[in-house]
Every structure is written in C-alpha cells, then in structure tokens.
Chain A
C-alpha cells in the first residue's frame, strides 16, 4: 500500500513516502508469525535546486548532488540530469516465522525501512 495521491509523477520535494508491505499480500501470513507487515517506505520527489539543498533537520547534502543540481539548472537539456532521490538513512526489522522443519526462527534484516531520503 502506497501513500494515497502519489500516483504517477514524483510530485513535491524529495522525501520519504509511506509504503506498507503486507506479508498477507504475498501469501506468507501462514508461516510468518510476526510482524503481519511493516512500513518499508520509499523515496520520491524532485532533486532540483533548492530541493537538492539540505532541508531543516534533513541529511547533509552531498556536494556532488548540489553540483549536479547546479549543472542541471544551468543546462537542463544536456548533461547527466538532476541527482536522484534515494534512501539516506535506513533501519532494520526482525521477522519471526516457522521454517520448513516447523522450527520457530527469528531473522534480523538490516536496512529494511527507509527513515530518511536525500538527493545523491
């Protein structure tokens, strides 16, 4: 499930958008004990100036991203295009499930939830 209204184009500045992953949707609800799903989120939005510059409290902008946004502003039709809106900070999740031998397994996965997005 994504954030309502996102639809087609990127819309607005580069930021985190809600994305809920439901294990029931992929048919895993019988063997996944917990959680039922989790908020994975995703990044979307414009990375042109001034969005490519750091917002209040956001992740520090990479000089390269600012340079690229400047080049794109100066020559939008030529060159490499604007920087990309990508995850800048991620956090883990743990999944509790039954495996094929009916053992109860707890697996820990790093970098599964997007906490912050940034232009890179």
Chain B
C-alpha cells in the first residue's frame, strides 16, 4: 500500500511490517499458548535450513495458506458467572466473544478453530455433544451451525470456517457464539474453563499469488 512516508524509522519499519501502530502501553503479559510457540519455531528459517523447506505464505502445521496466525482468547470469560455444579436438567448455555477488530478487511480467513477446555467433575463426558450457533444481537442464538462430540479429557476443537466464519470474506469485528451441551451420561455438567479461537488469515497484499512457471 502506498501510504505517505512515515517520519521516524520506527514508524517506517512498522509500516513495512504491515502494522499500523505499535501496541500502546505494556500488554497484559500472559503465557504464550504452546501452539503459537510451535508454529513460530516451525517457521524459524534456521529449522527450515535443517531440511524441510518452508512454503511462503503457508502454515505447514495446519496445512492451510496464510501468513498471519492469531490466538484470540474469549473476551467474555472474565465476565461469565461461575456456573453452579448442576446435577440434573439441561446444562447451562454459554456465550463466548472474540475481538477480531485487529484483523484487516483485506485479510482472508483460511482456518478458524474454536478450542474449549471443559472441566467435568468426573471427566465423564461420554455422549456429550456441543452445538455452536451465532449469538444474534436480539439476545437469542441463531440457528445451530454445527455440532461436535466432546472428546474425553482433551480440549474440544471445532472448525468454524464456512460455518460461523465465512471463507473468502472479511471477518466480523466481533465473533459472538452461543454454545450448548447436549446428551451425555454424566450427572454433573462440565464447566467451561477456557475458550479461544485460532484464526489463520492470508493477506494478499503481502502474499502475492504464486507466479506461473515460465
């Protein structure tokens, strides 16, 4: 993008890196998710030289095109009331919200993976299924978009691309989802301990389409 020449070197470098501004203040330092460390190390050119060449603008580990990967924690987790342990009746519904305002309109999502960490009193999540819907503004969930089984003991992952996140289109500024558990043999409902979104996008301005071979 041809923007006016920035005045100081730091702004010039920021612009060259496709960043509008340096994050203000000191970020809330939090542990870097292992998946992000793994992806970073995987892209380390030193490793590439050790024998597995890197494809430009491609996230090898996730097998999708992309040059920006974001790990976005649920911005609602702190405001969600702790659910009381429920021994009978339907389990509580959850809403999770992800702030995607940092994603540029030109960026195209190529992977949007919801990751939930559920805590069940006795780890018995057999038969549980999680349904995902968009949380519409009218305080009512929209139609169910997908349903995935709850794996025992593992983080639950659900691919949202093409369901809650449109492919080949700009992402919304906020993604708000309504989640609900169904079925299950456990007597106590699991608790939602953590929710995050792993979003991979491709910025066509920094990743020109591969040139056809001459």
Contacts and interface: CB of A to CB of B under 8 A. Distances in A.
Interface string A37-48: 000000000000
Nearest to B27: A98
Contacts of B85: none
B43 interface: yes
Interface string B22-51: 111011111011001101100111000000
A6 interface: no
A33 B36 CA distance: 11
Main SS of the interface on chain B? loop
B130 interface: no
B206 A33 contact: no
B153 to A, nearest CB: 25
A97 B29 CA distance: 11
Contact of A103 (B10, B45, B73): B73
Contacts of A101: 72, 75, 99, 101-102
A82 B24 CA distance: 46
Interface residues of B, number: 39
- Size bracket, chain A contacts: 20 to 34
B56 A31 contact: no
A107 interface: yes
B68 A30 contact: no
Interface of B: 9-10, 13, 17-18, 21-24, 26-30, 32-33, 36-37, 39-40, 43-45, 54, 56-57, 67-73, 75, 99, 101-102, 206-207
12 contacts: A26-B9, A33-B32, A96-B36, A98-B29, A100-B102, A104-B30, A104-B32, A106-B70, A107-B67, A107-B68, A108-B43, A109-B67
Interface of A: 26-28, 30-31, 33-34, 91-110, 113
